[in-house]
């Protein structure tokens, strides 16, 4: 099988998916707007061919370049796990006549309003929502929904440009910040805990799923710099209080007729037990959550994704052995990271820490508003959830990085 992989070296997790394709025994042809020499050496060695184009966003020119590409064999699949490139991937599938999401099937994963309208038709509980392209439409939607409410980009990813608005004064203050966003979704604010439902599917069937718990929910974490956000990949995904979320996740996959690949869904559980859909992307979660899945089950999820999309299989049963916590750290202060405090905790929990990804001393701290990973993270695991949370909270509270 020959697979055309869009952007095999970027973002940071794409090389792992490219390696997963190689491990699944397929031939990989890369497509990107950077030189092949700029790819990681490990990825360059896997390429059977690589086409550099001036821009991935000129879709017509990219399709023409692919048709002219003499070094490319017959392509059987086109894959892209980077959200901005999903529509390009769909257009290439249609142009090459290969299976996978079409443009029409891809749009609901990129347009939050279409996504929710489709699910409304299947009686899946979504927040009350309205599309708005003008300031006046935002005010009209707010009048219909009431406060508090959420405003988010129609085609956004993560929590960028997403705001909770509690009253008319806050709405008046937020709207000028969204001047660069063509369309927004104005939604009911759902007060509850936030989880993921991540799947690997083949031929419309879920072969594997993961549930992660955001502590606190991302909208809260991105509003307070002092917070060390956590994502917990849960070991016991069959707990009764998660059952309605799992049921909804299966219903969403069926309603959107998703066939093969990775999906990342977010959903809420309210205090009264009601579950509410958040959104879904036809891609894996970011911020190294796929690595969490690997550590939770001691498997290679990157390879298993490739097996699913190329061979319609998932090798073996995924035995969930651990809860896995990722604690993302934000240095206190500005400028260069010059010291840490509480480092004895890293030794105390050393046998449970599977990945120390913290920036080294002397590094410039990152803009915490632009990346969940911030100034790095500690990833740890333990079979018992209570113990996992206690370790995560200890590191989140008492291990600190300092910049000046």
Beta carbons of 242 and 320 less than 8 angstroms apart = no
39 located within any domain: yes
350 located within any domain: yes
Of 72, 107, 142, the last residue of a domain is 107
Query: Given its phi and psi angles, is residue 179 left (phi above 0), alpha (psi -120 to 50 degrees) or beta?
Result: alpha
Between CA 105 and CA 86 the distance in angstroms is 11
Per-residue pLDDT of the chain (404 residues; tens, 9 = 90+): 999 999 999 999 999 999 999 999 999 999 999 999 999 999 999 999 999 999 999 999 999 999 999 878 899 999 999 999 999 999 999 999 999 999 999 999 998 889 999 999 999 999 999 999 999 999 999 999 999 999 988 876 656 788 999 999 999 999 999 989 999 999 999 999 999 999 999 999 999 999 999 999 998 998 899 999 999 999 999 999 999 999 999 999 999 999 999 999 999 999 999 999 999 999 999 999 999 999 999 999 999 999 999 999 999 878 999 999 999 999 999 999 999 999 999 999 999 999 999 999 999 999 998 899 999 999 999 999 999 999 999 999 999 999 99
Looking at the fold, whether 58 and 163 belong to one and the same domain comes out as no
Looking at the fold, whether 256 and 318 belong to one and the same domain comes out as yes
Q: Which residue has the tokens 């209570």?
A: 386
pLDDT score, position 15 = 96
pLDDT score, position 64 = 96
313 located within any domain: yes
Of 188, 207, 232, the last residue of a domain is 188
Looking at the fold, whether 183 and 211 belong to one and the same domain comes out as no
Between CA 106 and CA 78 the distance in angstroms is 13
pLDDT score, position 390 = 98
Of 167, 188, 209, the last residue of a domain is 188
Mean pLDDT taken over the chain: 95
Q: Which residue has the tokens 């794409």?
A: 14
112 located within any domain: no
Looking at the fold, whether 49 and 71 belong to one and the same domain comes out as yes
pLDDT score, position 158 = 58
Spacing of C-alpha 22 from chain mean position: 23
Looking at the fold, whether 239 and 308 belong to one and the same domain comes out as yes
Looking at the fold, whether 143 and 221 belong to one and the same domain comes out as no
Looking at the fold, whether 241 and 179 belong to one and the same domain comes out as no
Domain holding 19: CATH number? 3.40.50.20
- Angle 319-325-327 (CA atoms, 0-180°, nearest 5)? 160
114 located within any domain: no
Domain count along the chain: 3
Looking at the fold, whether 242 and 370 belong to one and the same domain comes out as yes
In tens, the pLDDT along 3-39 reads: 999 999 999 999 999 999 999 999 999 999 999 999 9
Looking at the fold, whether 132 and 220 belong to one and the same domain comes out as no
91 located within any domain: yes
173 located within any domain: yes
Domain holding 165: CATH number? 3.30.1490.20
Q: What is the pTM of this model?
A: 0.92
222 located within any domain: yes
Q: Which residues pair with 185 in a beta bridge?
A: 131, 152
23 CB-near residues (< 8 Å, 6+ apart): 300, 302, 303, 306
The residue segments making up the domain with residue 170 are 128-188
Looking at the fold, whether 399 and 261 belong to one and the same domain comes out as yes
Domain holding 396: CATH number? 3.30.470.20
Looking at the fold, whether 321 and 397 belong to one and the same domain comes out as yes
pLDDT score, position 316 = 80
Looking at the fold, whether 141 and 230 belong to one and the same domain comes out as no
pLDDT score, position 112 = 85
- Which of 331, 321, 400, 320 shows the shortest CA–CA distance to 363? 331
């Amino acid at each position: 099988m020959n697979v055309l992989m869009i952007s095999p070296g970027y973002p940071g997790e794409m090389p792992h998916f490219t390696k997963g394709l190689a491990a699944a025994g397929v031939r990989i042809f890369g497509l990107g707007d950077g030189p092949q020499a700029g790819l990681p050496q490990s990825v360059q060695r896997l390429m059977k061919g690589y086409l550099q184009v001036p821009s991935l966003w000129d879709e017509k020119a990219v399709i023409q370049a692919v048709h002219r590409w003499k070094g490319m064999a017959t392509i059987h699949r086109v894959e892209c796990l980077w959200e901005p490139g999903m529509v390009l991937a769909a257009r290439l599938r249609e142009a090459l006549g290969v299976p996978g999401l079409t443009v029409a099937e891809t749009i609901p994963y990129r347009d939050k309003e279409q996504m929710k309208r489709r699910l409304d038709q299947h009686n899946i509980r979504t927040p009350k929502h309205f599309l708005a392209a003008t300031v006046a439409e935002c005010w009209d939607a707010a009048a219909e929904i009431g406060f508090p409410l959420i405003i988010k980009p129609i085609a956004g990813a993560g929590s960028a440009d997403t705001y909770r608005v509690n009253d008319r004064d806050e709405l008046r203050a937020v709207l000028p910040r969204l001047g660069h966003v063509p369309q927004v979704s104005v939604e009911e604010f759902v007060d509850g805990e936030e989880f993921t439902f991540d799947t690997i599917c083949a031929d419309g069937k879920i072969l594997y799923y993961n549930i992660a718990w955001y502590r606190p929910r991302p909208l809260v974490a991105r509003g307070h710099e002092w917070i060390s956000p956590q994502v917990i990949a849960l070991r016991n995904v069959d707990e009764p209080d998660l059952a309605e979320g799992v049921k909804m996740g299966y219903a969403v996959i069926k309603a959107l007729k998703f066939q093969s690949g990775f999906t990342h869904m977010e959903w809420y559980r309210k205090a009264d037990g009601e579950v509410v859909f958040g959104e879904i992307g036809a891609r894996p979660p970011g911020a190294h959550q796929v690595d969490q899945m690997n550590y939770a089950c001691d498997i290679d999820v990157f390879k298993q994704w490739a097996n699913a999309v190329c061979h319609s299989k998932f090798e073996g049963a995924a035995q969930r052995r651990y809860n896995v916590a990722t604690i993302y750290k934000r240095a206190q202060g500005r400028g260069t990271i010059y010291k840490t405090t509480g480092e004895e905790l890293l030794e105390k929990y050393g046998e449970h820490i599977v990945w120390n990804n913290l920036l080294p001393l002397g590094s410039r701290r990152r803009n915490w508003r632009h990346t969940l990973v911030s100034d790095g993270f500690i990833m740890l695991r333990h079979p018992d959830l209570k113990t996992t949370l206690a370790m995560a909270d200890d590191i989140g509270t008492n291990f600190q990085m300092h910049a000046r």
